Amino acid sequence: MCPLTHCPKIHSSEPTVAVYPGTFDPITNGHLDIVERALNLFDRVIIAVAINVGKQPLFPLEERIRLIKECFGPDDDRVGVDATDGLIVDYAVSQRACAIVRGLRAVSDFDYEFQLALMNRKLAREVDTVFLMTGLRWIYISSSIIKDAAKHHGDISGLVPDHVRQALKKKYRTQTS
């Protein structure tokens, strides 16, 4: 049973959908941990790759989407991957999602995430925000730290899926040539 009061699972037989937004530049095993645990709460999770003009991603949007899709089997219809450039809460409403999933690594993440959740709640009361703590083994990693380690030829094995590690290796080899 879905723990959220606005979740359609409580009021109908519709599958529950959650949106997990981020830039995912690149996706890490910490992100995948959040997706796996979100699937214990919701029937479907849509990974919404945010187009953020304020950031200069290492990987172009299409490549980030491809790298994420490669993490899941082609028949895994419980996980969707999509791009969005507007308000995440509007995207969630358009997907008939009952929740936005946010991963937290540390207390320092909470203040900003809490503010976002309150604004999203103001904009669309029918969409809840669910905070999931990153698993302890992933608490110290972020996409930025992974990119920095990869850029300086650090061993990131086990922190990202192998195909992502290879893509980072190739990206930084290309940039230094």
Instruction: Give strand pairing partners of 17.
Output: 44
Name the one residue in this structure whose structure tokens are 């490549």: 63
Active-site annotation holds for 55: yes
> Which one of 37, 66, 69, 105 is the catalytic residue?
105
Distance CA 118, CA 111 (A): 11
Active-site annotation holds for 147: no
Count the residues in the chain.
177
Asked if 93 and 127 count as a contact pair (C-beta separation under 8 A), the reply is yes
Name the one residue in this structure whose structure tokens are 């999203």: 120
> Which one of 55, 169, 170, 173 is the catalytic residue?
55
Structure tokens at 89: 């809460």
> Which one of 9, 31, 102, 147 is the catalytic residue?
31
**Which positions ≥6 away from 117 have C-beta within 8 Å?**
100, 102, 129, 131
Active-site annotation holds for 143: yes
Active-site annotation holds for 153: no
Alpha-carbon separation of residue 155 from 27, 30, 83, 162, 166 (angstroms): 16, 16, 30, 12, 11
State whether residue 51 is helix, strand or coil: coil
> Which one of 9, 64, 102, 143 is the catalytic residue?
143
Just list the catalytic residues: 31, 55, 105, 143
